[in-house]
Amino acid sequence: MRTSSENPDWLMPWYFNFSTERGFGAHQYSMPGRPMSHGCVRMLDVDARWLFKWGKGWTRSEDGQAILEHGTPLLIVGKYDFGSPRPWLQPVWWSQGITLSAPEMASLR
């Protein structure tokens, strides 16, 4: 559980940090049906829980100033088309995966 740095009333279960400097992470939170974040990735509880348990966070020095070991990389792809129907409301969308381009795949190596 993490408390938001934007608003102390925002509690974020299953928080998986991917940018300490900017305070961004993936976590469970309400899904309002449109982009509505300060940079985090909102997820359903089941997905946020899976990512939190599967991913490995980074290891920092005792003073917190240096990253000693990098954790699991998190790749976020795509963009939101405000004019299209909300894909997560379409059951077929859930059954489809994504295909990464060659440059995207190369960046993971």
Q: How far is CA 25 from CA 18, 43, 56, 90, 106, in A?
A: 5, 10, 13, 26, 23
pLDDT at 84: 78
pLDDT at 104: 80
pLDDT at 109: 66
Are 87 and 93 contacting, i.e. CB atoms less than 8 angstroms apart? yes
Alpha carbon dihedral 34, 26, 91, 104, in 10-degree steps, equals 100
| pLDDT in single tens digits along all 109 residues of the chain | 888 888 899 899 999 988 777 778 899 988 776 667 777 888 889 999 999 999 998 888 999 888 898 888 888 777 777 787 776 667 676 677 778 888 888 877 6
Q: How many domains does the chain fold into?
A: 1
pLDDT at 102: 87
**What is the domain range of residue 38?**
2-107
